[in-house]
Structure 1
Amino acid sequence: MRSELYRGMFLSVTDDKSNKVTDYSELITVGNNNEAILTKEGNVFAKGKDIYPRNPNEFINISSLIEDTNDRIIKDVVSGRYSIYLLTSNQNAYGIGDNYYGQIGFDSETLERTEKPILMMKNISKIFSGNSSDHVFLLNSNQELFGCGDNISSQLGLGKSRKEQRIQKLTKIQKIPKGKIIDIQCGYSHSIMLIEDENQNQNQNQNPKRKLYSCGYYEYNGLGRNEYTYEFTEFKSSLFENDDNILDFSVGKEHTLILTSNSKLIVFGDNEYGQLGTGNTKNQSIPIQIELPKLRFNENISNYHVSCGMIKSFLYSSHPSFSNLEEDLIKLFRRKEFLQYFI
């Protein structure tokens, strides 16, 4: 699940000790019980009861808590449900917060929770988790994928032989689809992976073909099959045409939105709160196409993105003119009721 709100939002962060505005935010990410801001300077300010239980409403600079002072410049931050993950400029992955399922990569009996970032793995290029998930994936520079955390529904894609509820040590995912891993989004009990086919013959003006693969289980059968999927398996739908490609996708707790190059918005899964945008609250076990709203900034679909909270969804543009929406999001982010209404 994509837990980021908006890259490049102008949001100032004040250091309580110096009362100095640090800089503008590069990325905001939200979990079920945490919020984090990555600044342009490479600092991460975060809050949450599993991050700073003494004052869960106070933002603290968690990147400054990394023991290695040469590893405190952060280039990406990802929220899990009760944990936050940091990727440093040195390509090292750290975790902070809850570790009940081993989602920080350590035995939870010896490390139930941590209030400082703990080094999980080196030589990492990407971190994937979700704002309703207790599992995480780490991708290294050799395109090797590792996972840990909650696996009660086989959401780590480890196969039938690994049915443990908790995977408390980073474990290599042996069977992954061929191609380049572009993204992995994690729901509560499932994961969806976007793969780009690097070997497929393409015309000069065509983008490489992208496919979705899923594992785990949707309570509402949102993957179109009423069964557990123990390994990453290709997601297929008759709505995808031969000339259609996946531009973007996003995963909520139990719902999914997919945006395609043929201007299709495909949705499925839980719809109890109307998060699928179908105009009703009927759950969709089979993917359906819904009509795109009138595009606000321009008609180029490639400039648009979808983003899911736990029970809400957004369609937004990467166009730089964001003034009104930007202001609304900042106000929303600062509200105490933010988590209740957004996710």
Structure 2
Amino acid sequence: MATALAVTSTGQVYGWGSNGSGQLGTGDNVNAALPVLMALPSGVQAAEVATRFGTTLVLTTTGQVYGTGQNTFGELGNGTKGNSNVPVLAVVPAGITFTAISSNLASSLGLTADGQVWGWGNYNWANGVVGTSTKPVRVAALPKGIVFVDISVGSFHNLAVTANRQAYAWGRNNSGQLGDGTTIDRASAVRVPLPEGSEATAVAAGSDFSVALVRTSLDLAFGANGSGQLGNYSHDNSFVPVSVALPGNMDMIDMEGGYLHSVAVTNVGEVWAWGDNTYGQLGDATLTSRSAPVQSLMPSGTNAVKVTAGQRHTLALTDAGKVYAWGGNNVGQLGIGSTTPATVLTPTPVTFPGSLTGTVTQIASHNFHSAALTSTGEVYTWGDNTYGQIGNGTTTRQTSPVKISLPSGATATSIAVGAFHTLVVTSTGAAYAWGYNNYGQLGNGTNTNSSVPVAVSLPSGTLLRDIDAGLSHSLAITTTGRALAWGANSVGQLGNGTTNAAGLNVPVSVHLPAGVELVGIAGGQSHSLAVTTGGQVLAWGLNNYGQLGENNSVPARTTPTYVDQTPGTVADDVAAGQFHSLVR
């Protein structure tokens, strides 16, 4: 008969099944055909339980560990070797608390709050020698100075995952359960050689086998790298995707490419940037350019969710709807009410008018101007206005955000900024544009600049759901997952199989592979990127620095081609800089 346990929402533990060693913790050794309540001390609440081979461990909400049941080798951790049919407290040094537990045949492991692994019972079997302790001790088999985030105990072997997603194993290896390509027992932990590009997120140890849950890292960059904008500790251009060197276990949740720099938001709400820093656009309080990510110094307590990058400046949006800006400010592109100082080295709040309704939900920027979208569908712009790209009916620069008057009834749901033009998609699937129009990037059938929003001439019956802009071309995804493009097309950046020095001033269909639908799209200076519903990345346009990521030096592509992704990887989003590309 096996043993089963459950933890309730109030921290109680119920168990049923075998109880011959007292593993149900009820004060007796009677098997239970129905759930019975474990006799935890008064006030103790369980957060997690683990049971195997007659031993049960309980992790409490305060980080303590209780054990009940089999204790032949000290696997309860209370300093004795006698079985117990009621929960007993594991004895640990003052200040040690646990965040995870694992139990198997006569051995127990605990993961401490500071990411260290402790063991008790027969916790370290190797070469026929058993490391035994009746109290938790730090596992000496593991390298020091490494933070761990997951653990699992097998019958005679152990597994652990580090904060930077590496897997380690130690103990018995007669069946290759350590995954190191041998059957040699290991008293010291060995790193498990996972497939290239894979990262461990969790591990589970069986009797004589191991399982790891992995993900494939896809924080990638390719193309021009003269300023370190690929973030891989190099300045060499790359015609194939290379990994961005984000620290530890961080992942991008949003990213953007600027002229010669890149910026990302991580899964812990931090902003990291790399590449050119001539104008302080990395936000690290220096003017030192970086070939690997450096943290932008967002104010304490802020949690970033989105970023965007211009030629010399960077913006970040927090989960509270606040916008911060830093870098070059020569024409007011930071939105701080002045062009002084001309360079801002750390994130500074953008000064929106008091009349703003809702909160900011989206930001966009390009060369020297910026835009924001609110939860109520309002659009604000600021910065350079030489060609009317602010959209307020003038060509006067704006050092603070100004609200744009969209046509009556139009509510914006998405925004994008090109070098000198601005785009929005509305709640009805229509699109409006304003600013420079020398190549037809406004898409209204003319090449006349406009300082107020004009309707993009979409094909009959076509509705849009997203939009983006390159230097002088515009891109959109329809509600059916197809792509449209208009504007500059000198090197095929519209993806319709042609080139045209004068550009195209009405939207044309991008020639996607048959059956492909898109979920994301991005425009660089003269190249374009897209993500399919299947997680593949397409690229087209200029390829002089390898920004199409297809592992060759073809000068340009006039139709979408697949980026040279690692087999099995799935992309979620893309971003394009001047001559480089980012994928996550």
Please report the TM-score for the alignment, with normalisation by the length of structure 2: 0.44
AA at the equivalent of 2:291: E
AA at the equivalent of 1:180: T
Q: Does 1:106 align with 2:267?
A: no
AA at the equivalent of 1:106: D
Q: Does 1:44 align with 2:219?
A: yes
Name the residue aligned to 2:241. Answer: 59
Structure 1: where are the runs of 5+ without partners? Answer: 1-17, 24-39, 197-208
AA at the equivalent of 2:471: M
Q: Is the 8 A contact 1:42 1:75 kept in 2?
A: no
- Give the superposition deviation at 1:100: 0.9
**Secondary structure of residue in 1 paired with 2:378:** strand
Q: Does 1:190 align with 2:369?
A: yes
- Give the superposition deviation at 1:104: 0.6
Map 1:151-190 to 2 at 5 A: 151-160=329-338, 162-175=339-352, 177-190=356-369
Name the residue aligned to 2:207. Answer: none
Specify which structure has the higher proportion of strand: 2
Deviation per residue, 1:167-205 (Å, 9 max, x gap): 112212344534211111112121111112xxxxxxxxx
Q: Is the 8 A contact 2:198 2:217 kept in 1?
A: no
AA at the equivalent of 1:212: V
Q: Is the 8 A contact 1:127 1:136 kept in 2?
A: no
Q: Choose between structure 1 and 2 for higher RCO, CA contacts under 8 A separated by at least 6 residues.
A: 1
AA at the equivalent of 1:193: A
Q: Does 1:142 align with 2:320?
A: yes
Q: Which whole-Å CA distance do the structure 1 matches of 2:226 and 2:579 have between them? A: 18
With over 3 angstroms needed to count, the CA separation of the structure-2 counterparts of 1:100 and 1:108, relative to structure 1, is: farther
AA at the equivalent of 2:323: L
Name the residue aligned to 2:465. Answer: 304
Name the residue aligned to 2:65. Answer: none
Q: Which whole-Å CA distance do the structure 2 matches of 1:93 and 1:305 have between them? A: 24
Q: Does 1:316 align with 2:467?
A: no
- Give the superposition deviation at 1:115: 1.0
Q: Is the 8 A contact 1:311 1:342 kept in 2?
A: no
With over 3 angstroms needed to count, the CA separation of the structure-2 counterparts of 1:212 and 1:175, relative to structure 1, is: closer
Q: Which whole-Å CA distance do the structure 2 matches of 1:342 and 1:60 have between them? A: 12
Q: Percent identity?
A: 20
- Give the superposition deviation at 1:226: 2.1
Q: Is the 8 A contact 1:95 1:119 kept in 2?
A: yes
Name the residue aligned to 2:292. Answer: 116
Q: Which whole-Å CA distance do the structure 1 matches of 2:443 and 2:359 have between them? A: 31
Radius of gyration: which is bigger? Answer: 2
Please report the TM-score for the alignment, with normalisation by the length of structure 1: 0.71
With over 3 angstroms needed to count, the CA separation of the structure-2 counterparts of 1:77 and 1:264, relative to structure 1, is: closer
- Give the superposition deviation at 1:286: 3.1
- Give the superposition deviation at 1:331: 5.0
Q: Is the 8 A contact 1:312 1:342 kept in 2?
A: no
Map 1:224-303 to 2 at 5 A: 224-237=393-406, 240-241=407-408, 243-294=409-460, 301=463
Q: Which whole-Å CA distance do the structure 2 matches of 1:263 and 1:307 have between them? A: 14
Q: Does 1:125 align with 2:286?
A: no
Deviation per residue, 1:221-253 (Å, 9 max, x gap): 23221212121111114xx21x33213222101
Q: Which whole-Å CA distance do the structure 1 matches of 2:399 and 2:416 have between them? A: 21
**Secondary structure of residue in 1 paired with 2:422:** strand
With over 3 angstroms needed to count, the CA separation of the structure-2 counterparts of 1:126 and 1:42, relative to structure 1, is: farther
Map 1:16-55 to 2 at 5 A: 20=196, 41-47=216-222, 48-51=225-228, 53-55=234-236
With over 3 angstroms needed to count, the CA separation of the structure-2 counterparts of 1:210 and 1:316, relative to structure 1, is: same
Structure 2: where are the runs of 5+ without partners? Answer: 1-193, 200-214, 483-511, 519-528, 531-537, 541-547, 557-576
With over 3 angstroms needed to count, the CA separation of the structure-2 counterparts of 1:210 and 1:276, relative to structure 1, is: same
Specify which structure has the higher proportion of helix: 1
Q: Does 1:214 align with 2:381?
A: yes
Q: Which whole-Å CA distance do the structure 1 matches of 2:549 and 2:442 have between them? A: 26
AA at the equivalent of 2:265: L
Over the aligned positions, Cα root-mean-square deviation in angstroms equals 3.2
Answer with 304-313 or 132-141: which moved more.
132-141
Name the residue aligned to 2:166. Answer: none
Q: Is the 8 A contact 1:99 1:106 kept in 2?
A: no
With over 3 angstroms needed to count, the CA separation of the structure-2 counterparts of 1:145 and 1:186, relative to structure 1, is: same
Runs of 4 or more above 4 Å deviation = 18-23, 320-323, 325-329, 335-343
